[in-house]
Amino acid sequence: MSSRLNCFHHTVHFSLTAENTPGSLPRILAVFERAGLCPQLVKASHFVDGLLAVDVYTEGVEEHLQQRLSGKLSALVGVSHLRREVILGAGQAKLAS
């Protein structure tokens, strides 16, 4: 038997600016892979001034892991800017009993 319960979930959005080199995107995604995470959405855009804008969205990451990921991402070679935001959303969770 299962029931549905309205609840809040959160998505963490990491927004980075990095050098536009062939290794930048793989280095960024490797941080998530090493943490055992598979992002829900990754978007990369190349800017004329030689920079790469990368947005990574992942769900259900606890605060301490968010901080650890932020530290690892900002320490990467070529990353010049990092911003993190938590997006709260309402949804339905399916409970199994």
Integer Cα distance of 21 and 9 in angstroms:
34
Residue 3, pLDDT score:
44
CA within 13 Å, CB half, 31: 23
Burial class of residue 22 (count of CB atoms within 10 Å of its CB; 0-12, 13-18, 19+):
exposed
Residue 8, pLDDT score:
56
Integer Cα distance of 41 and 54 in angstroms:
10
The CATH H-level (homologous superfamily) assignment of domain 2-89 is: ACT domain (3.30.70.260)
Closest by CA to 47, choosing from 18, 25, 73, is: 18
What residue spans define the domains of the chain? 2-89
pLDDT tens digits for 14-57?
A: 999 999 999 999 999 999 999 999 999 999 999 878 899 999 99
Model pTM?
A: 0.81
